[in-house]
């Protein structure tokens, strides 16, 4: 077990003194679930909202609360040996050099100002100046404070320095007001961390020259004007693939079924609803694509003769269904010879065997098979796991964030592309 723990990537979560500090507990837990090893530091003000013991119990690590350790100069156990690194008075340097990312949640107006102006008067602000790791901040504050020109100017300064800002949402605030400044959802913060970490470990622009067509979300088949047959797909896997591909230099055409996710940057988005609309959009853009990734959960059936008006409750009702077109099979038969096609197989049993069978049946270049029967991976989760299956090999992808899994899938796609290019 200890060897597995050492393989987890260390990140540092800094908790500052705002009412949203309690939400940092869930952020830490979700970071652990995504395969990371969070260490926590707290400002003095943060301790007024959450006790350090809470984070220590969750992470199994000492929580840093001060720049000055009570036993910084002590000789442990009376041995005459120097203090261990974790008790060093320069611990902020060690923490800054050993972390993969610094995540500040919540980020108060005070801490944003100190970061922007280089003030180093406690452990967190000193570590911020000493680290070269990426920094992610999730602001949370009163709506009037959030809108203040000074706060917005500090945020702009941090953006220009490369700090990732996880924008707050709008809603009811602890002060009783309604508006912006509410801490972003914990899952959004964790997704931002995964995206930043992924981009520090993948080759930049290795997909330049590729036009990647990606489908995402779950299609909906109407029963009547207000009801539909659908599935649990959130679109998170497809959107993570689109964002990662765009970051790595590809032109991305994202064909998206309904989802609540924000649009990935630098992508061309085509919105569709039904399986037939997705089919038409895929085939229309297929000639442009050098790589197609079918991550959407497309309905296998649609209602025959959907009602034109809302159906009334009148006792039992039987719906007549007919199969939709098999988009993956059709595009494989119509694609250009040099276009790679990767499909997804969402399974609830015999995942690997069913994935291999689908690869053979569809004629794709690869299939990503994943288990969607649980609640920790698959549909509507921030994590995923499965297998990347080709005719030549099967590669297991252990449980990780969907952002990281997107990077791994694109790594394999790049390898397939490279293998097809004849040696010069």
Positions marked catalytic: 231
Assess contact for 216 and 254: CB atoms under 8 A. Answer: yes
Helix axes 149-160, 109-117, angle to 10 degrees: 50
Identify the H or E element spanning 291: strand 291-294
Cβ contacts of 387 within 8 Å, gap of 6 or more: 351, 352, 355, 368, 369, 370, 394, 395, 396, 397
Question: Does the N-terminal peptide bond of residue 106 adopt cis geometry, omega within 30 degrees of 0?
Answer: yes
Assess contact for 385 and 368: CB atoms under 8 A. Answer: no
Distance CA 216, CA 294 (A): 7
Question: ∠ CA 248-252-257 to the nearest 5 degrees?
Answer: 130
Q: Write down the H helix ranges in 169-218.
A: 186-201
Q: How many CB atoms lie within 10 A of CB 412?
A: 17
């Amino acid at each position: 077990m200890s060897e597995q723990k050492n393989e987890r990537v260390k990140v540092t979560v800094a908790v500052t003194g705002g009412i949203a500090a309690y939400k940092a507990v869930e952020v830490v837990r979700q970071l652990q679930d995504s395969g990371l090893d969070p260490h926590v530091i707290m400002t003095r003000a943060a301790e007024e909202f959450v006790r350090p013991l809470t984070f220590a119990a969750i992470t199994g690590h000492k929580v840093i609360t001060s720049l000055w350790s009570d036993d910084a100069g002590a000789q442990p156990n009376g041995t005459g040996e120097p203090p261990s690194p974790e008790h060093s008075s320069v611990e902020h340097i060690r923490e800054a050099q050993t972390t993969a990312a610094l995540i500040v949640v919540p980020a108060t107006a005070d801490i944003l100002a100190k970061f922007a102006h280089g003030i180093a008067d406690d452990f967190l602000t000193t570590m911020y100046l000493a680290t070269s790791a990426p920094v992610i901040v999730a602001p949370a504050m009163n709506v009037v404070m959030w809108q203040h020109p000074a706060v917005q100017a500090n945020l702009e300064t941090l953006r220009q320095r490369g700090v990732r800002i996880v924008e707050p949402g709008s809603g009811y605030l602890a002060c009783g007001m309604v508006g912006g400044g509410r801490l972003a959802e914990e899952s959004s913060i964790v997704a931002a961390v995964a995206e930043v970490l992924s981009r520090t470990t993948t080759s930049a622009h290795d997909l330049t020259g590729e036009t990647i067509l990606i489908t995402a979300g779950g299609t909906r088949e109407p029963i009547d004007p207000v009801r539909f047959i659908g599935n649990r797909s959130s679109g998170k896997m497809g959107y993570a693939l689109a964002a990662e591909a765009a970051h790595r230099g590809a032109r991305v055409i994202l064909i998206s079924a309904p989802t609540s996710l924000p649009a990935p940057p630098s992508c061309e988005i085509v919105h569709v609803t039904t399986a037939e609309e997705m089919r038409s959009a895929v085939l229309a853009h297929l000639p442009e694509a050098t790589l197609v990734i079918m991550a959407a959960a497309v309905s296998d059936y649609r209602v025959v003769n959907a009602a034109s008006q809302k159906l009334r409750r009148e006792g039992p009702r039987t719906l007549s269904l007919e199969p939709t077109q098999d988009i993956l099979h059709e595009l494989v038969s119509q694609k250009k010879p040099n276009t790679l096609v990767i499909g997804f197989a969402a399974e609830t049993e015999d995942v690997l065997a069913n994935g291999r069978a689908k690869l053979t049946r569809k004629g794709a270049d690869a299939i990503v098979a994943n288990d969607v029967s649980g609640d920790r991976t698959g549909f509507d989760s921030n994590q995923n796991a499965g297998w990347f299956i080709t005719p030549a090999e099967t590669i297991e992808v252990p449980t990780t964030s969907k952002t990281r899994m997107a990077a791994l899938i694109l790594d394999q796609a790049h390898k397939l592309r490279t293998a097809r290019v004849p040696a010069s």
